[in-house]
Amino acid sequence: MTTTTLLRFATAGSVDDGKSTLVGRLLHDSKSVLTDQLEAVRRVSADRGQEAPDLALLTDGLRAEREQGITIDVAYRYFATARRRFILADTPGHVQYTRNMVTGASTADLAVVLVDARNGVIEQTRRHAAVAALLRVPHVVLAVNKMDLVDYRETVFAKIAEEFTAYASELGILDVTAIPISALAGDNVVEPSAHMDWYGGPTVLEHLETVPVTDEFTAAHARFPVQYVIRPRSAAHPDYRGYAGQIASGVLRVGEAVTVLPSGRTSTIEGIDALGESVDTAWAPQSVTVRLKDDIDISRGDLIAPTALAPTTTQDVVATVCHVADRPLTVGQRVLLKHTTRTVKAIVKEIPSRLTLDDLSQHPAPGRLVANDIGRVVVRTAEPLALDAYAASRRTGSFLLIDPADGTTLTAGMAGDAFTEHEWTA
């Protein structure tokens, strides 16, 4: 809406690492908390006999969360500074909620991984880093929290930062920024710390405001999944036939030769209507309506791509998945696969391996995946899909597996290889 850029980011941390406090501190110190919200927090904190307002109460929105003092579910927060707008996916760090971090990370440009300075890099930290790498989150911030409890010592921070950065680069994460903070005391969250002269880097907020948002969507090949066919058949528009959709990646141009998949029919883009305005070019993630020169049979679920750069179609999908449902995914199971705007019948052919996120070791042929498991699957689909590798496009390389019986979302899938290739030469 405004000219400032938008950064979508996710937070991750173990229970009691102080994640809710960090988020509360970010919102509070960036003056994104309004008076009535703060009043409510003060009132509840005082009712519980706490001296200072408990900033975690700003984010734990559900009864069960407040009762147990933990974050159960992903919550979305909105705040803005003069430089940028932010959408924060606040994800729980509890082991059993790995799927929630996957959810938050799926749309994030940046992930903040929180570590308790007293404990250093633990299993859960490695798990969070691996999820960020798996979901191809472009930037990772390591926030070493509770520095006040280790006397703000540089050596403590340096050791943790070094260990984490080495592990992250093994995973293929390109950009890691480590920041020593105290969420409780407010050191280096929004305001620079007076206790850590040895640290010369940005505060968490400064980094969030300045990290470049790479436009991954426009850099990739053009992909246009057809959502809906617009045919008014009215007196004013007797012959209008437009294909409505959101450009998943790349740029579309009037006059371009395109192929429609999976049918393989070809045509030329005659016009692009960008929500009421006729344009010559449009790019991801714009929602537009495309008109083609030839009257060919196109419906929801088809993919329009430049003929020169069209993806190949396949009925055998090899992917890394995160299982998000409570009931398991098993070999031989019949499922629905939702990829962009297309939902097709599918069967789970193989589960070649399950991944242990802690040490990235693989367990061959587990037979099934249970909630929060990450593994490799091979899925055979009833119809061909125009699928890209997830590494090439987060939008056209991702899919869901759905239970056909009751519609439950079972599994989040990422086509192609996960991490860097050498990790997966099983």
Partner 1 sequence: MESEAVHIFREVAGEFEKPVILFSGGKDSIVMLHLALKAFAPAPVPFTLLHVDTGHNFPEVLAYRDRAVARHGLRLHVASVQEYIDAGKLRERPDGVRNPLQTVPLTEAIQQLKFDAVFGGGRRDEEKARAKERVFSLRDEFSQWDPRRQRPELWQLYNGRHAPGEHVRVFPLSNWTELDVWQYIAREDIELPQIYFAHEREVFQRNGMWLTAGEWGGPKDTEPVHKRLVRYRTVGDMSCTGAVDSDATTLDTVIAEIAVSRLTERGATRADDKLSEAAMEDRKREGYF
Question: Per the structure block, which two tokens stand in for 53?
Answer: 């307002």
In the complex, minimum distance from the CB of residue 298 to partner 1, in angstroms, rounded to a whole number? 13
Q: Which helix (H) or strand (E) holds 4?
A: none
Task: Output the smallest distance, CB 22 to partner 1, in A.
Answer: 16
**Are 358 and 127 within 8 A, CB to CB?**
yes
C-alpha angle 166-173-102 in degrees, rounded to nearest 5? 115
* Closest among 264, 406, 259, 393 to 339, alpha carbons compared: 393
Q: How far is it, in rounded angstroms, from Cα 62 to Cα 244?
A: 37
Q: Which of residues 199-228 bind partner 1 (CB under 8 A)?
A: 227-228
d(CA 22, CA 182): 8
Q: Which of 182, 286, 333, 353 binds partner 1 (CB under 8 A)?
A: 286
Report 333-352 residues binding partner 1 (CB under 8 A): 336, 338, 340-341
**Residue nearer to partner 1 on the CB measure, 178 or 251:** 251
Least Å distance between CB 213 and partner 1?
A: 15
The reply to whether 276 sits near partner 1 by the rule CB under 8 A is: yes
Single out the residue of 30, 37, 81, 266 in contact with partner 1 (rule: CB under 8 A): 37
- What are the structure tokens assigned to 117, written together? 């300075």
User: Binder to partner 1 among 69, 201, 212, 232 (CB under 8 A)?
Assistant: 232
In the window 246-265, what residues touch partner 1 (CB under 8 A)? 246
Residues 422 and 426: their CA atoms lie apart, in Å, by 9
What mask of x and - would describe binding to partner 1 in positions 38 to 77, judged by CB under 8 A?
Answer: --x---x-------------xxxxxxx-x-----xxxxxx
For partner 1, the binding residue among 78, 96, 201, 382 (CB under 8 A) is 78
Report the C-alpha gap between 83 and 72 in whole angstroms.
Answer: 31
Tell me the number of residues near partner 1 by CB under 8 A.
Answer: 66
Among 171, 399, 417, 418, which residue sits at the site for partner 1 (rule: CB under 8 A)? Answer: 399
- ω into 262 cis (within 30 of 0): yes
Q: Is the dihedral of CA 223, 228, 232, 238 positive or negative?
A: positive
Contacts of 123 (CB under 8 A, 6+ apart): 358
* Strand ranges (E), 20-121: 75-80, 84-90, 110-116
Residues that bind partner 1 (CB under 8 A): 1-2, 34-37, 40, 44, 58-64, 66, 72-78, 80, 87, 99-100, 102-103, 106-107, 227-228, 230-232, 234, 236-237, 240, 244-246, 273, 275-276, 285-287, 300, 324, 336, 338, 340-341, 394-395, 398-400, 402, 406-409, 412
